[in-house]
Structure formats: structure tokens, C-alpha cells
Chains A and B, each alone.
Chain A
Amino acid sequence: MEQYRTEEEQVEALRRWWDENGRSTLVAIVLVLAGTFAWQGWQRYDAQRTASASDLYQQMLEAAALAQEGAATAAPVSQLATQLRRDFAGTSYAQFAALHQARVAVIAGDLEAAEADLRWVLGKADGGSETALVAQLRLARVVAAQGNVEQALALLAPEAMGKHQAAAAMARGDVLAGAGRAEEALAAYREAQALVQTYPAQLNLETLAAKLQSLAAATAGDDA
């Protein structure tokens, strides 16, 4: 390190350093500040946008609750959902909205519209994410309801359904039972029930139990 003998020398050294590096130091500071403020601004903007999407989504949920009670039609749900998908396409709220639209469509009997909604979600959601898996499971069920059994079974293949093995098996059972393939359906239901029994959470799946009992009784009759 250099040593300065007097204060004047020290000040002189500083001034020299400033003449050489002052401009670039200033530019660096300005750039860092601008970057920081831009980043903060963008974050604020993003937070605000998410908050607006959240508010809109809450409105849609309230409309959906009214529709479910039968106190209103599903039209406002669809309208709010469409708005969410258009104005906030990149958010999870848009995907949830599309899932609700699919539900409305299924209830109205419009399976094609439901299929389109679910495919839209599959296209938007990250592969393997919870939302994607949920959409895939429902897509398979809608496709099966349209009569495409093989396509549905392919969507529900164990390797495609990640952590939702029991739900997939239960849906496979429904698809197969609907196609009249009782033995395979029974196997799928049994698989679902066996999986659920290994889960620590208590689940009361009455319908699954009834379908299992009914199929078991029917197939036992065929054997006799």
C-alpha cells in the first residue's frame, strides 16, 4: 500500500483517483440504483396484478357457490372465469378458473367444451404440477364419457399420474366398468382401495366401496 506523508498528498491522491475513475463509479452507482428500483417496481406491479387476479377469483368462487346452491345460474361463473383467463392468463388463478369452467360445462352436458377447457389447463400448467395432474385426471374422465375408452386409459396410466395413483385407479375402474370390462374394473377398484388403506389420512369413500361390492358380487356370479 502507498503511504502518504501529508494530508495534502492524501487529498491529491484522492483527486487523481476521482479524475481517473469518477465517471465509471458514478455510472456504476446509477446503473445499480436504476436496476434496483426497476426490480422493485416490477415486483410491486406483479404483486398488484396478482392481487387483482385474486380478487376476481374470489368473486368467481362466490358466484360458483351461489350456482351450486341453485340460487343463481352458472353464467356469472363463466363470465368471470373467461375474464380471468383473458386478463391474467399466466397466473394459477386463470388455471383454476378454467377448471371451474370445465365443471360448469360438464354439469351443462357440454363435454366438448369441458375437454377444451381442461386441455387449455394442461397446456398452461407446469408438467407434473398438482394443477396439471388434476386436469389430466379430469380430462381422462371427460374423454371416457365421450366414449374414447382407450384414450382415457392412456391418460390414466400409472406412470402419467404421479402421486395420484389411487385417484387414477378409481377413475380407471369407472372407465372400465362403463365399458363393460367388469373383471378389469374390479381389479382397478381393488387397487384404489388397497392404496387408500395405506394412507394415514381417514377417507370415507362410500361410492367406491359400493361399486366394489356390486362388481365383486356380479363377477362371483359369472364364475359360478
Chain B
Amino acid sequence: MLQDIRKTTQGTAAKVVIGLIVISFALFGIESILLGGGGGAVAEVNGEAVTPMELQQAVDTQRRQLIAMMGDNLDPAMLDDQRISAQALEGIVSRKLLMQSARDMGLTVSEAELGAVIAGMEQFQLDGNFSPEMYKSLLASAGFTPASFKSALRDDLILGQVRAGLAGSDFATPAELALTARVVAEQRDVRYLTLPLAPYLDAVEVSEEDLEAFYRENEASFMTPESVVLDYVELTLDDFREPVEEAAIEEEYRIQLDSYQYQTENRVSHILLQRGSDESEADFAARIATVQDELAAGKSFADVAAERSDDVGSAGNGGDLGFSAGDAFPPEMEEAVAALEVDTVSAPVETDAGTHILMVTERRDSEAPSLAELRPELEAGLQEREARVALLLAVEELRDIAFTADSLRAPAQELGLEVLRTEPMTREQRDGPLAEPSVLRAAFSEDVLELGHNSEVLELGGDRFVAVHVHEHNKPTLEPLDAVREEIARSITRERAREALESAAAEAVAELTTGEQSIEALAARENVEWQVELGAQRDSRVLPPAVLQRAFSLPAPGDDKPVADYVIDASGDARVVQLVRVQAGALASLDAEQQRGLRQRIGSEFGALLQVEHEQGLRAAADISVL
């Protein structure tokens, strides 16, 4: 085969091909050819891949946002990976579609603009100035590299440009302003009275025949729920906690001491003297002596370091070298440091770097904690470790015995446990010691409920394990009439009272619209108050919501044609509403601030609608495949 290759590479065509390969490498660089299209995409949007990393990052971001938003109220189910990942993928797809459309428009953000935006972000500022360290550490903690953050920010800015260009340039024409003002600033004079439900409730009498008839007709709604009484055995971690032997605690303490380093740290300053290439030994010794003399004469270490030290890095700040736990400096130096009192000056120390005069400026001792201090922690940890092993062994044993036994008695005896019994539990049970979805699922499964087997050993939260057995199965039965008598009486009463109230209200409306009665006369007759609200607007907070809603959906009254209607509000009372006068709104009646608000409202409603339809159109036309 090699022979073949050798032969063919000598042909002219082959030379041309090789030449082209050489040129393409020369012009485009190797990585764009070798690292094109990376595999393993989770989805494709018009051929653009969504990488698993991108998705993971979006999931993490969303999870962080959820936690930040909900705090302790967070339902753990909301953090479910699959659920979040579906939402996150949706978000990524939308963004990719918008970005592709923006790229088609030929939009971009310059490096300079990008830099200015980053420098201006408050999160990255320390005392009002951009801090590169802050920038890097914040990015790292959010899972970004500077490059990926810049690219995400660039996309954000470009999407902002599109939004500002299209949705942000919307307006309201004078015709639209006038039209909208007419509607939004419309004023209506409204009168209403309230017919309370309570007297009608009191007036209803329910006979024994009524009750029985209702009971017969609605049997299906008077069934008791299906329930089971469960026998169960329980294994918990606490059952297995045993006193820990003293020897074991001591052993653990030794291990702790070895694995942590309790050491002394010294903050060291030095004056370094290096012998120059043309310096005689005597001169050098004289130089060392000078330093020692000056220090002995009481000149401060920092000053001498600044003047005499050959270590330019530390000379400027008093010769300070920072802390060492005994391993930062050459051994000769560490030895001297360890022997030195704080704030005293050492004799000259020789290392490969030269001759050092040392001073310890600060000493931090970190002593090992005593056994007594650590004992509670160690004991609890050991106890739990041993208990968990014992628990899991017991769980295994229970699993074996419960599987073959036909009740829980045998397994309980074998393991020295007690068989406990629950109250009746429904399929939707919410409280009680075993009200957990996994237990209910098992209890109502065919295997356990119909065939009478023991359930598997179920793991609940908090290191609890249970196995259950159905003791009693209560099938749904019809509740006796006496048990539901009151409930039925209430239902019938509510229904009849409402009917009577509605007919009274309808009659009142009829009397109002024909002009037979005024609302005042009606109120007097019914012995209730009536109210009036002049010039109510659509967003009135004075009128009850049901009254407002009804008043604004009535046609304007004609000259001799009073307009009225009734509405049953949330509390069950009837509101009889009369619309007296409608005054169309006028732009001129609005103050400048209100006019500005109206203008913005019209523009932003069009803008928002356009944005939604734009995204939808992109999605409809896109080729999206989730892999």
C-alpha cells in the first residue's frame, strides 16, 4: 500500500492537490480545519449547534436565579434538572433565532464599545473604578471566561440594538392619541345598590323530601374516598446509634491531627546583600557590618532595607516578604526565622541568593485543638458512621425477609422491630407519618393492595426506611344520608337563595329601565343604601370591581331610556347598577404627564406585539431539531 501511495503522489494531479493543502494550511491555520464542527450538540437551530456546555451553563444560571428569587420558599421540584433544562433550552433557542436574525441584518458591536460597557458595569467596580481582579473572580464564579462573557455580552448588546431600533422606535399618531384618550379617559356616572344574599339564605326552607331527592340525584358526589390502613415497620438511623469506644475516639483524633496542619506562621522581613562581581570580600563584609551597625544604632529596619537591600522587590516596603508556614524560604532561612524572637534582628544568614539579615514582624500560632474540644464532633461523626453501616445491613436483611414473608410479623420479630399501624390513608394523603408519594404509590399498587404482599423496602428522607403491608382496604362507599345531611341542606339553600336573589335583582333592573321606579325608591323599598359615583373612569378604585366592570360594558343611555343591569359579585350579593351618563374622554382634558403616559402606552403596546410576532415568525420559519 505504501508503494501505491508513493507512486500516486508522484503524479501531477497529486502534486496539485498537495499544493492546495499546503496553501490552505498556510492561509487559514490548522485549527479551523481540524477543529471545525465539534460533535455532541444537544440541539440544532437552523444548523447552528447548541452545545451541552452552553445548555449546562444556562441551566446553572437559571437554577441560581430561582434560588436567589425564591430563597427558602423554593420547592425542590422546581430545581429538577429535566424541567429546568427544557426551559433553558427554550431560552437558548429563542436567543439563537434572534441572534441569527440580527446577524442577517449585519449588526455588530465594536470592541471599544464592548470595553466601555464592561468598564461601566457596577458589579465590576471597586470604589467607583473598574477592578480587573473583581471582574475575573466574578466571571469565574458565574462560570464564564473573559472571552465567553464578552461574546455573551456582545450578543446582548446586539439584541438590544434590534429592540431599540424596531420596538423602541414606535410612536402614537395624533389620531391614535385622540381615539385612545376618548376611551381611556371616558367618564361614567354610575348609581348602584346592593341586594345582600343573607336574607334570602335565611328565607329558604329545605324539606326532608328535598334532601332525599338531592341525595339520590347526586350519589356520585357522596362517596367516601378509598383508603387503606397500613401496617409498617420502620428502620431509622437513630435506632442504630451506639456509644462509641474511647479508643476509637482517640484514634480518630490522631488521624485528624495528622490530616490537618497546625503550624506556626511567621511574617518575615529581610535585607538582602549580594556580593557584586567586582566587589572584594572585605568590601562585602564591610557592607554587611554597616547594615548591622545601623540596625544596632536603632535605625528602623524598614529604612535600612530601603537604603541598603539588594532585593528591589521588597526594599520598597520595609523588606517585607509575607507569611511563611515554614516552607516558603530556603531551609537555612526558615531555621533562623524559627529561632528568632518577634521584632529582633538576626545574624547574617547565607543562602544561594546572598546574605540576609532577617526580622520576624509577626507570628501567628495556630495550635492544635485539644481532644476535649473536638470530642463532641468526633464522637457524633463516628457514631453516625457506625450507625449507618448497621442501618444498611439491617435494611438488606429486612429486604430479604419481607420479600418472602406474607405479613410483616415475621420480619419484625427477626429484626426486633415493632409493627406499627397508620390511620386510614387516601391516595392523596397529605399528613401522617407515611404521607409520602413513594409510600402511597406502593400501598395502592396492585402487588400490595390486591395481592396482599409486603411492599419493597422504601427509602424516605432523613435516613428512614419502611416496608408496608395493607391491613385494611376501605373501598369507596356511599355515605349515609345522615352524614351528609347538612352539606346537602347548604347546597340546596345556596342554590335557591341565589335564584330568588337573581329574580329580585332582574325585577329591579326591569323597573329601572322602564322608568317605573327610581333607584332611590327601590333602595327605600328594599331597605338598603344606594351609592352614586360621578365621573368614574375605567381604572376607578372606588367602585367595587364587579360594578365597575358591568358599568363600562353597558351601552350609553339615550334620552328617555335609562340603562341598568345587575351583577352577582364574588361574595354572592347582587349589585343593581344604573348607568346615568357617559362622557367621552378628550386628550385636551389630560395633563401633560398623562398625555405622555398615553403616548408611551400606545407605542409600547404596538412595540411589544411586534416583538412577540417577530419571535414567533422566526420560530415558525426555523429548522429546529432537538437531538
| Residues on the A chain within 8 Å of B7, using CB | 1
Inter-subunit contact B612/A221 (CB<8 Å): no
- Quick one: which of A52-83 are within 8 Å of B by CB? 52, 54-55, 57-58, 61, 64
- Quick one: which of B1-38 are within 8 Å of A by CB? 7-8, 10-12, 23, 27
Report A11-32 CB contacts with B as 1/0, cut-off 8 Å.
0000001000000000001001
**Complex Cα gap A64–B168 (Å):** 10
Given contacts A36-B27, A213-B553, A218-B556, contact A58 B113 (CB under 8 A): yes
| Residues on the B chain within 8 Å of A144, using CB | 173, 175
Q: Which residue of B lies closest to A97 (CB)?
A: B165
Interface centre among A47, A217, A221 (most CB of B within 10 A): A217
Report B581-606 CB contacts with A as 1/0, cut-off 8 Å.
00000000000000000010110011
| Residues on the B chain within 8 Å of A138, using CB | 170-171
Inter-subunit contact A51/B613 (CB<8 Å): no
Given contacts A99-B169, A102-B169, A138-B170, contact A145 B613 (CB under 8 A): no
B174 on the A face (CB < 8 A): yes
B620 on the A face (CB < 8 A): yes
Report B74-86 CB contacts with A as 1/0, cut-off 8 Å.
0000000000000
| Residues on the B chain within 8 Å of A142, using CB | 173
Interface centre among B8, B170, B601 (most CB of A within 10 A): B170
| Residues on the A chain within 8 Å of B113, using CB | 51, 54-55, 58
| Residues on the B chain within 8 Å of A109, using CB | 174
Return the contact of A103 from the options B11, B171, B609, B617 (Cβ within 8 A): B171
**Complex Cα gap A196–B613 (Å):** 9
Inter-subunit contact B170/A213 (CB<8 Å): no
Of B145-153, B176-184, B352-360, B476-484, the stretch lying at the interface with chain A is B176-184
**Complex Cα gap A220–B179 (Å):** 19
Q: Which residue of B lies closest to A101 (CB)?
A: B169
Inter-subunit contact B109/A54 (CB<8 Å): yes
A113 on the B face (CB < 8 A): no
A187 on the B face (CB < 8 A): no
Inter-subunit contact B12/A17 (CB<8 Å): yes
Question: What is the minimal beta-carbon distance from A142 to any residue of chain B, in angstroms?
Answer: 6
Inter-subunit contact B613/A166 (CB<8 Å): yes
B420 on the A face (CB < 8 A): no
A160 on the B face (CB < 8 A): no
Inter-subunit contact A210/B183 (CB<8 Å): yes
Inter-subunit contact B554/A217 (CB<8 Å): yes
| Residues on the B chain within 8 Å of A162, using CB | 617
- Per the CB 8 Å criterion, the residue count for chain A at the interface is 69
Return the contact of B169 from the options A100, A200, A211 (Cβ within 8 A): A100
- Quick one: which of B129-170 are within 8 Å of A by CB? 161, 164-166, 168-170
B interface: dominant SS:
helix
Inter-subunit contact B171/A50 (CB<8 Å): no
Question: What is the minimal beta-carbon distance from B3 to any residue of chain A, in angstroms?
Answer: 12
B257 on the A face (CB < 8 A): no
Inter-subunit contact A131/B166 (CB<8 Å): yes
- Quick one: which of A187-207 are within 8 Å of B by CB? 196, 199-201, 203, 205-207
Question: What is the minimal beta-carbon distance from B585 to any residue of chain A, in angstroms?
Answer: 10
**Complex Cα gap A114–B186 (Å):** 30
B106 on the A face (CB < 8 A): yes
Return the contact of B601 from the options A1, A141, A164, A207 (Cβ within 8 A): A207
Q: Which residue of A lies closest to B109 (CB)?
A: A54
**Complex Cα gap A61–B613 (Å):** 23
**Complex Cα gap A134–B613 (Å):** 11
Inter-subunit contact B108/A51 (CB<8 Å): yes
Inter-subunit contact A164/B610 (CB<8 Å): yes
Inter-subunit contact B173/A145 (CB<8 Å): yes
**Complex Cα gap A100–B167 (Å):** 10
**Complex Cα gap A137–B612 (Å):** 15
A96 on the B face (CB < 8 A): yes
| Residues on the A chain within 8 Å of B616, using CB | 163, 199-201
Inter-subunit contact B175/A178 (CB<8 Å): yes
Inter-subunit contact B173/A207 (CB<8 Å): no
- Quick one: which of B76-110 are within 8 Å of A by CB? 101, 105-110
**Complex Cα gap A109–B175 (Å):** 11
Inter-subunit contact A163/B613 (CB<8 Å): yes
**Complex Cα gap A107–B601 (Å):** 14
Given contacts A130-B166, A217-B552, contact A174 B176 (CB under 8 A): yes
Inter-subunit contact A174/B175 (CB<8 Å): yes
Question: What is the minimal beta-carbon distance from B624 to any residue of chain A, in angstroms?
Answer: 15
**Complex Cα gap A65–B218 (Å):** 64
**Complex Cα gap A131–B178 (Å):** 27
B112 on the A face (CB < 8 A): yes
Question: What is the minimal beta-carbon distance from B538 to any residue of chain A, in angstroms?
Answer: 6
**Complex Cα gap A92–B158 (Å):** 12
Question: What is the minimal beta-carbon distance from A223 to any residue of chain B, in angstroms?
Answer: 8
Return the contact of A99 from the options B106, B165, B184 (Cβ within 8 A): B165
- Which A residues form the contact surface with B (CB < 8 A)? 1, 17, 29, 32, 36, 47, 50-52, 54-55, 57-58, 61, 64, 91-93, 95-96, 99-100, 102-103, 106-107, 109, 111, 114, 130-131, 134, 137-138, 141-142, 144-145, 162-167, 170-171, 174, 177-178, 196, 199-201, 203, 205-208, 210-211, 213-214, 216-218, 220-222, 224
A-B contacts, 27 listed (Cβ < 8 Å): A50-B106, A50-B108, A54-B108, A57-B165, A58-B113, A93-B161, A95-B165, A96-B161, A96-B164, A130-B614, A137-B606, A138-B171, A141-B176, A145-B173, A164-B610, A164-B614, A167-B613, A171-B606, A178-B178, A199-B612, A200-B616, A205-B609, A207-B183, A208-B605, A210-B538, A221-B558, A224-B555
With A50-B106, A134-B166, A162-B617 already in contact, 14 other A-B pairs whose C-beta atoms are closer than 8 Å: A51-B108, A61-B164, A61-B168, A64-B164, A92-B107, A93-B165, A106-B171, A107-B599, A114-B171, A167-B610, A178-B179, A201-B612, A203-B608, A213-B553
- Which B residues form the contact surface with A (CB < 8 A)? 7-8, 10-12, 23, 27, 101, 105-113, 161, 164-166, 168-176, 178-180, 183-184, 186, 538, 552-556, 558, 563, 599, 601-602, 605-606, 608-610, 612-617, 620
